Structure 1
Amino acid sequence: MSETVPALLIGGEFRRETSQPRAEIVNPCTEDVLWTAPAAGAAEVAEALAHARAAFPRWAAVHGWERAKVLRAIARAMERRKPEIARALSLEIGRPIAQSEGEVVIAIEQFDWFAGEAERLFGETIPSRQGGRLQAVPEPVGIVAAFTAWNFPVNLLARKIAPALAAGCPVICRPSEQTPLTSTLIALACVEGGVPSGVVQMLHGPADIVTSLLMQAEEVRKISLTGSTRVGKLLLAQAAQTVKRASMELGGHTPVVICEDADVDAAAAQCAAFKFRNAGQVCIAPNRFYVHEDLASRFTDGMVAAARALVLGDSQDPATTMGPLTLASQRDRVEALCVETIADGARCLTGGRRPASRNTGFFFEPTVLADVPDTARIMREEPFGPLAPIATFRDLDDAIGRANSTPYALAAYGFTSSQTKADALSRGLHAGMVGVNTFMIAHAEAPFGGVDHSGMGREGGRQAINDYLNVKMTHFMAA
């Protein structure tokens, strides 16, 4: 396209207009309209499905080594467009521009990793006890529908597009309505990388049309969702009607256990950095802090100092270190939850309000809350915002039990200088991923995902591509 504007990608062609009403995209920092975006309706969904049906047998027949070349070419196209993608991401969700290129980098890693996976798609031959040989061969599951959230609009798409392409599946993406330009740029990189027509398609539009029709389509054989547990339950019920395979990264409510032998200053610095990253709008953000009572005062002092050092401001200002909440509704929810937590008996040590210096935008101050009772709603429900509730413990087993007290089990963290306690945290914390003395748990080469109400399936690592494959067994006997 001569000018990069939000557009749908259908059958290899970018479409700037449809018969549906255009969506206004609001800048979370200023509340001004950034741009408008076209929306897909029933006709566009039907057209995309037809293109995907036609593309599937052709793409499935491409050798894994050739699919790998396309994946790597997409990665290189994204590298060329990195500043442009980062700027769109920053404008649409309000993340500081200085931090936005990092997401593009980790998304690029997904395409490079799954290029290797495409090259390693081998079957196996098993000697048969009845004579002959048994052959197990991986085959692409079929058309994939991918649904993503707004908080990581580049990486979440990459985590779904890359394994689908590597496996030989066409993928129809319905990204968040808040991030149409970001997703358009990802689509452009796919086209520039040589993805055949109909293999990757991008449909912006309301969920009640796009998602509903994709879920009803028999030819869609696999869905991948990053979203809330509520939406995950709805899609699982719909998927059952056509027996679609599903992988889902759903809501979390991540605990952190700070043991009495932890390096408390380092722990506080890391906890603050990751809690307030992206204004707390991170699925694996630390959300509940259980601190040994002997360290509580020093830990909270460190968290407060780090929170007060953050610079709230416009996402395009290089000096900004924390931006706004992406949506007004999310800012309002965080504000109400903070007020409720204080009413439940917590002490607000810093923050707890909209910044007085910002008259526009969906800003909320980074907030540290101490003495938070376990009965408070914030200890049971994910805030998805810059609220850090802190409680204390005396016994490690008690802390682990409280950490495991919700049905959400995406991630969990612990800090200790003892290998014995590190092993106890790894074994005892119930989650799909555990970080000990680190928050770095998202890697292209490692499985990412939760259990229980936090989802199923994995993204990343050698396990992820299996969700996009069927295994066909053939028993060969001599004639």
Structure 2
Amino acid sequence: MTQSTPYPIIDGAERKLASLGTMDLINPATEEVLATVPRCGAEEASEAARLSVEGFAQWSAMSPFDRSKIMRRTAELMRDEADEAAAEMTRQSGKPLVQARGEWLASADLLDWYAEEGRRAYGRLIPTRASDMRWTVQRRPVGPVAAFTPWNFPAWTVMQKVAPALAAGCSVVLKCAEETPGSGVRIGRALLAAGLPPRVLSVIWGDPAAISATLCAAPEIHKVTLTGSTRVGRLLASAAGQHLKKVTMELGGHNPVIIARDADLNSVVPLAAEFKFRNAGQVCVSPTRFLVEQPLYKDFVAGVTEAASKLRVGDGMNGDTQMGPLTTAGQLSKIEALAADAVQRGAKIETGGSRIGNRGYFFQPTVLSGMTPEMDAMNEEPFGPLMLVMPVEDIDAALAEANRLPYGLASYAFTNSLSTERKISEGINAGMLGLNHYVMAMPETPFGGVGDSGMGSEGGIEGMDAYLRPFLVSAKIA
């Protein structure tokens, strides 16, 4: 499999030099330098913003049908390079190869879905109050967009923004994560090869503070969208708000899982282990706080402990790896500190709890039992392979703990009781609820949270609505 060096894309061309010099891409499994790439700053961000105006004029003038053809052609090109793209994603992010390939193909599916949805951005005719009037509402693209994406899902999170924005007729300045720019560059290359006009999409990375400040202030940019931490979301939303720009913020979560006393542990336990440790727990909708009713608590802890202890941890490029390393050294240090704090405050490590080796950012799949609300890990999003298990007396107590934090992204519940299901669905404070499963992000469904987990939705028709604005034509008929 070939490994190409990613370069920023501006005006349809790859830039091998940038204003802030260079930076290294690190393989989190080996800590080796994968490539030395350009480091962009305010200069590139300003240029990309300026060019996006011309790109918007050209792209928004094209028919939705013609835009759709380019997007669908891109999806096919992406599928053709799935093996190479997955290998590059694994080397940069650490996730197992099978997960990287699945993400890349799902991203192509997402582009396909929005290619068709863009052809159905219908307006409406409103009955008037007078016979000589006609009221029509059109849905027009908001304009050039600045999109900021993270390192944990470097293809999917890019496509959650690029696909609906392009479908709506917007141009995009994409700022990829510095750790994992390869996927964004590949998507940009595929779009250009499929016929996207060169100034419709720019792909940059480098100095996050300089780039974000420039794009949020740039008069050419009409909308800002971020997938990232709550802390960064506050900064970007505030900066965009000063210039009255539209925003979509998909931010952090600390997702509760309520396991009722009537749940079937034979299905609950393997699902918990599979989804908790997917991508080493570096998933914004990862199940994190497992709130288990007392009658099932001991058996649940025993079951997930056994399952977690059997997971194969290693380099994601190895075919039998089930969990790779954390993506950054900072995440590794954070997980170590959260686990240590929990133990100091009385939690028990059932399995794991330590770094693996001294090369690469590996941490053991960890189950912590006896968790209590004052522990740091129960308040700060771990974003790592920590399964936090807390016993609760009943569903009311579980809901109280689930709703205790200001986060409200994903939530989960496992029960075979319709009345319990209804109580949880009516009582939970979150943007999404998974009942008896953990699958959330699909092209057809909205994805987003409340409170400190952000504002607005991605995915589904709501995802494209975020890039459209209503335009009223109130006409007096002669």
Q: Distance in 2 between matches of 1:321 and 1:127?
A: 58
State the partner residue of 1:450. 449
State the partner residue of 2:377. 378
Q: CA offsets, 1:207-234, max 9 Å, x none?
A: 1221111111012110110000001111
**2:413 is paired with a residue of what secondary structure?**
strand
1:193 pairs with 2:188: no
**1:48 is paired with a residue of what secondary structure?**
helix
State the partner residue of 2:239. 238
State the partner residue of 1:59. 59
**2:198 is paired with a residue of what secondary structure?**
coil
Q: Distance in 1 between matches of 2:21 and 2:12?
A: 23
**1:242 is paired with a residue of what secondary structure?**
coil
State the partner residue of 1:474. 473
Deviation, 1:18, is 2.2
State the partner residue of 1:164. 165
> Does 35-44 or 169-178 show the bigger shift?
35-44
State the partner residue of 1:278. 279
Matches within 5 A, 1:104-115: 104-115=104-115
Q: Distance in 2 between matches of 1:329 and 1:110?
A: 31
**2:116 is paired with a residue of what secondary structure?**
helix
1:98 pairs with 2:98: yes
State the partner residue of 1:10. 10
State the partner residue of 1:182. 183
Q: Distance in 1 between matches of 2:86 and 2:420?
A: 40
Q: Which amino acid aligns with 1:413?
A: Y
**Aligned 8 A contact 1:10 1:48 in 2:** yes
Deviation, 1:3, is 8.2
Q: Distance in 1 between matches of 2:350 and 2:85?
A: 37
Q: TM-score, normalised by structure 1?
A: 0.97
Matches within 5 A, 1:426-445: 426-445=425-444
Deviation, 1:435, is 0.2
**Aligned 8 A contact 2:282 2:384 in 1:** yes
> Does 31-40 or 147-156 show the bigger shift?
31-40
State the partner residue of 1:31. 31
State the partner residue of 1:300. 301
Q: Distance in 1 between matches of 2:419 and 2:457?
A: 28
State the partner residue of 1:264. 265
1:121 pairs with 2:121: yes
Q: CA offsets, 1:146-176, max 9 Å, x none?
A: 0000000000000000011001000000010
> Does 264-273 or 247-256 show the bigger shift?
264-273
Q: Which amino acid aligns with 1:153?
A: P
Identity of aligned residues (%): 41
**2:6 is paired with a residue of what secondary structure?**
coil
Alpha carbons of 1:223 and 1:264: their partners in 2 closer, same or farther (altered >3 Å)? same
Q: Distance in 2 between matches of 1:8 and 1:470?
A: 30
**2:222 is paired with a residue of what secondary structure?**
strand
Matches within 5 A, 1:280-429: 280-355=281-356, 358-429=357-428
**Aligned 8 A contact 2:257 2:290 in 1:** yes
Q: Distance in 1 between matches of 2:348 and 2:384?
A: 18
Q: CA offsets, 1:104-135, max 9 Å, x none?
A: 12111210111111110111111210331101
Q: Distance in 2 between matches of 1:184 and 1:169?
A: 19
**2:209 is paired with a residue of what secondary structure?**
coil
**Aligned 8 A contact 2:50 2:220 in 1:** no
Q: Which amino acid aligns with 1:138?
A: R
Q: Which amino acid aligns with 2:443?
A: A
Q: Which amino acid aligns with 2:371?
A: V
Q: Distance in 2 between matches of 1:265 and 1:298?
A: 10
Alpha carbons of 1:441 and 1:3: their partners in 2 closer, same or farther (altered >3 Å)? closer
Deviation, 1:359, is 2.8
Deviation, 1:4, is 3.0
State the partner residue of 2:150. 149
Q: Distance in 1 between matches of 2:184 and 2:318?
A: 23
Deviation, 1:37, is 1.2
**Aligned 8 A contact 1:37 1:180 in 2:** no
Q: Which amino acid aligns with 1:426?
A: S
Deviation, 1:298, is 1.0
**Aligned 8 A contact 2:248 2:455 in 1:** yes
Runs of 4+ in 1 over 3 A off after TM superposition: none
> Does 267-276 or 48-57 show the bigger shift?
48-57
Q: Distance in 2 between matches of 1:365 and 1:3?
A: 29
**Aligned 8 A contact 1:265 1:298 in 2:** no
Q: Which amino acid aligns with 2:60?
A: A
1:89 pairs with 2:73: no
> Does 61-70 or 404-413 show the bigger shift?
61-70
Q: Which amino acid aligns with 1:161?
A: V
Q: CA offsets, 1:392-438, max 9 Å, x none?
A: 11211111111110000000000001122112222211110100000
Alpha carbons of 1:286 and 1:301: their partners in 2 closer, same or farther (altered >3 Å)? same
Structure 2 residues without counterparts, runs of 5 or longer: none
Q: Distance in 2 between matches of 1:101 and 1:319?
A: 14
**Aligned 8 A contact 2:19 2:43 in 1:** no
Structure 1 residues without counterparts, runs of 5 or longer: none
Q: TM-score, normalised by structure 2?
A: 0.98
Q: Which amino acid aligns with 1:389?
A: L
Q: Which amino acid aligns with 1:405?
A: R
Q: CA offsets, 1:77-128, max 9 Å, x none?
A: 1101111111111000101112211101211121011111111011111121
Q: Distance in 1 between matches of 2:187 and 2:157?
A: 11
**Aligned 8 A contact 2:251 2:454 in 1:** yes
**Aligned 8 A contact 2:134 2:477 in 1:** no
Q: Which amino acid aligns with 2:48?
A: A
Deviation, 1:42, is 2.9
Q: Which amino acid aligns with 1:463?
A: E
